[in-house]
Amino acid sequence: MSQIKILPESVINKIAAGEVIDRPASVVKELIENAIDALASRIDTYLEDGGRKLIRVSDDGIGMDADDLALAFQSHATSKLQNADDLFAVHTLGFRGEALPSIGAVSHAGIISRVKGAMNGTEIKIDGGVLGEVKERGAPEGTQVEVRELFFNTPVRKKFLKSIPTEMAYISEVLTKFSLSYPAIHFTLMHNNRTVFNLPTVQDTAERIATFFGEEMRKHLIPIFLREEMFTLSGYIAPPFFDKGNARMQFIFLNGRYIKDSAVFRAINEAYHGKLMHKRYPIVFLFLQVEPSEVDVNVHPTKIEVRFRNTSAIYNYVFSALKEGLNKSATKTISAPSPIPGLEREAGGGEEFDLIKKSLWERFSPGKADGENAGLYNDIQANKKAEEKEKVFSAEIGNKKRRMCFQIHNAFIIEETEGGLNIIDQHALHEIILYHEIERSLQASKSLSQRLLIPEMIELSPKDFFSIISLKEYLGTLGLEVEEFGQHTIVVRAFPQILKHLNAKEFVESLLAELGAEDSLKGKDKILNKLINVMACRGAVKAGQRLEPQEIEELLEKKKSINAYTNNCPHGRPTTLYFSLDDLQKQFKRK
């Protein structure tokens, strides 16, 4: 008896669904791609319970007749390819013919459509892969696809769905990308009868960028344009001082499709090389138009990865366009009509001065950079005062018969011990101390928060808004009380005491940067542990931050109180390197 069997069509479709449809956002993406390919000028998305209960996408596109509808849920049925050669000249977003049958295999779905100019519309339904008959019914011109109870017949996959705010964050990201790429289409998104956003058509993508990421960014955007024989690049990039802690704000579109490509990312990083600090990433909105014959979009089921015929040319085009844009922007900024001394007074302020001032502040002020890589502190007068205090402190140490300790390079503490010396990473040590202080406060049910006299309002992108709301309970446990306020705005009413040197917006942005790639966090303990890590890192003194002698002493005293736990920071890096006197004597050939 043969061990090899041909799988039933229902199982084949469920396997295909696993490749293409992994969450509600995947359904929304596929349906909007179809609407765009149908030449829609308006696309409305309505959701219930984060898309798990209902997803409805309506468009005013060309529509489908009864014959089209009869085939819409059939596997590999598509209007976008005629033969194999068309795979290498794809002009549409969808083309595989897998999405609708995959969706229909794991939901209760239906399509209502009416071709422009037709008297009536038609309807077809599918329940868990079981296809119904095409029926005539009244309908507006265009197409409406409705998907109910996603994964109702695949409970294992349904179990992996996350909270409603988290799923909404993914869906918002999908809509954000489409609306950036297609400014001439009117997009709306509603959730449980509440408008998430309503985006009428605009002339310039910069208007959409401002809607999602703020007017301040739009004001400083640098336009990019390059045209070659089979390649056009347009878009905007942000100046270096708008940098982020991860690459989530790098939006790359190829022929209208959002993509990720290593060659393009390398070109972006090289163009900004030397302008950003370590582990900081630029913000870019790039729109590539390439002849379809020069790119293969069929290398991945989700079509997010592509393969260029000439990768090196793409790299060179992107690199040169971004480099030129940055250089022109720098020249314009530096050409202020007055010398640097007294610049504000003589230039009378203005946009160019604000840009220089903001750049200098971001680059050189202490504690402004992310993680352990703070900027240099150039205040000579402050350094002189600190040196004077250090002399007094050294004298006090001598009087108390304490061993010598001092800071070097504004990053490390040298501590004399009985048998040698310790070299301490000040950020790593303080980070692990704060980590354990937060943990102990939680275990003792001790409040970590401090009420704000004036609550702080923070406007976020739709994705970031839902991401923060999904963490609301856990943030409250750690002393950060947030509430929804409007469509994309949160209000912070209480703030953790250990972060008193930060403003709420600064911490929320760093939190989003840290959690941007975290798709695997599940369970209260894992989420809380991650948040504690971020709080400890942001609350700790930074590398590059000069410490007062009293601050050094306090840090070392706290080290003693939890000595058993301070060998490594929460990231696993050592906090202290020990050198014995015997080792030092051997190095200097004294033994």
Query: How many Cβ atoms are within 10 Å of 518's Cβ, its own excluded?
Result: 12
Three-state SS across 411-468?
Answer: CEEEEEECCEEEEEEHHHHHHHHHHHHHHHHHHCCCCCEEEEEEEEEEECCHHHHHHH
Lowest mean pLDDT among 225-234, 254-263, 400-409, 581-590: 400-409
Task: Quote the percentage of the chain above a pLDDT of 90.
Answer: 53
Q: Are residues 565 and 493 in the same domain?
A: yes
C-alpha 575 chain-centroid distance = 29
Cα distance between residue 104 and residue 75, in whole Å? 10
Q: What is the mean pLDDT of the chain?
A: 83
Give me the torsion for CA of 299, 302, 304, 308, rounded to 10°.
20
CATH number at residue 80: 3.30.565.10
CATH number at residue 304: 3.30.230.10
Please give the tally of structural domains in the chain. Answer: 3
Helix (H, G, I), strand (E, B) or coil at 558: helix
C-alpha 295 chain-centroid distance = 27
Q: Are residues 190 and 215 in the same domain?
A: no
When pLDDT is averaged across residues 408-423 and rounded to a whole number, the result is: 94
* Full residue range of the structural domain in which residue 430 is found: 377-591
Specify the residue for token string 């501590």.
Answer: 415
What pLDDT, on a 0 to 100 scale, did the predictor assign at position 297? Answer: 76
Q: Are strands 231-237 and 284-290 parallel, antiparallel or unpaired?
A: antiparallel
Cα distance between residue 214 and residue 207, in whole Å? 10
More confident call, 8 vs 443:
443
Q: Are residues 431 and 458 in the same domain?
A: yes
Q: Which residues contact 280 (CB under 8 A, 6 or more apart)?
A: 243, 244, 245, 369, 370, 373
When pLDDT is averaged across residues 456-470 and rounded to a whole number, the result is: 91
Q: At what angle do helices 462-470 and 164-181 cross, to 10 degrees?
A: 170
C-alpha 255 chain-centroid distance = 22
Q: Are residues 182 and 268 in the same domain?
A: no
Q: Which residues contact 587 (CB under 8 A, 6 or more apart)?
A: none
Q: Are strands 222-228 and 231-237 parallel, antiparallel or unpaired?
A: antiparallel
User: Is position 355 within any domain?
Assistant: no
User: Is position 257 within any domain?
Assistant: yes
N residues, the chain:
591
User: Is position 92 within any domain?
Assistant: yes
Tell which of 200, 234, 257 closes a domain: 200
- Asked if 73 and 99 touch (Cβ cutoff 8 Å), the reply is no
What pLDDT, on a 0 to 100 scale, did the predictor assign at position 382? Answer: 52
Cα distance between residue 51 and residue 329, in whole Å? 43
Q: Are strands 295-296 and 307-308 parallel, antiparallel or unpaired?
A: antiparallel
Q: Are residues 507 and 581 in the same domain?
A: yes
Q: Are residues 231 and 190 in the same domain?
A: no
Helix (H, G, I), strand (E, B) or coil at 90: coil
User: Is position 350 within any domain?
Assistant: no
Q: Is the pLDDT of residue 162 over 60?
A: yes
Cα distance between residue 153 and residue 215, in whole Å? 45
Query: How many Cβ atoms are within 10 Å of 309's Cβ, its own excluded?
Result: 14
Cα distance between residue 392 and residue 201, in whole Å? 66
C-alpha 511 chain-centroid distance = 10
Q: Are residues 41 and 99 in the same domain?
A: yes
More confident call, 407 vs 348:
407
Cα distance between residue 77 and residue 72, in whole Å? 7
Q: Are strands 284-290 and 250-254 parallel, antiparallel or unpaired?
A: parallel
- Asked if 515 and 475 touch (Cβ cutoff 8 Å), the reply is no
Tell which of 147, 165, 200 closes a domain: 200
pLDDT tens-digit map of 502-531: 888 888 988 888 876 554 456 788 889 889
Side-chain-side CA neighbours of 418 within 13 Å: the count stands at 0
User: Is position 51 within any domain?
Assistant: yes
Structure tokens at 298: 């069929």
User: Is position 581 within any domain?
Assistant: yes
Neighbour-count burial of 65, counting CB atoms closer than 10 A to its CB (0-12 exposed, 13-18 middle, 19+ buried): middle
More confident call, 3 vs 445:
445
**Local confidence band at 79 (pLDDT 50, 70, 90 cut-offs):** low
User: Is position 342 within any domain?
Assistant: no
Q: Are residues 440 and 558 in the same domain?
A: yes
More confident call, 560 vs 24:
24
Q: Is the pLDDT of residue 353 over 60?
A: no
Structure tokens at 230: 């089979």
**Local confidence band at 424 (pLDDT 50, 70, 90 cut-offs):** very high
When pLDDT is averaged across residues 541-563 and rounded to a whole number, the result is: 90
Q: Is the pLDDT of residue 589 over 80?
A: yes
- Asked if 309 and 231 touch (Cβ cutoff 8 Å), the reply is no
pLDDT tens-digit map of 109-150: 999 999 998 999 999 999 998 999 999 999 999 999 999 999
Neighbour-count burial of 144, counting CB atoms closer than 10 A to its CB (0-12 exposed, 13-18 middle, 19+ buried): buried
Q: Is the pLDDT of residue 487 over 50?
A: yes
User: Is position 314 within any domain?
Assistant: yes
Strand order in the sheet with 405-408: 405-408, 412-417, 420-425, 576-580
Q: Are residues 398 and 277 in the same domain?
A: no
CATH number at residue 397: 3.30.1370.100
**Local confidence band at 157 (pLDDT 50, 70, 90 cut-offs):** confident
What pLDDT, on a 0 to 100 scale, did the predictor assign at position 345? Answer: 30
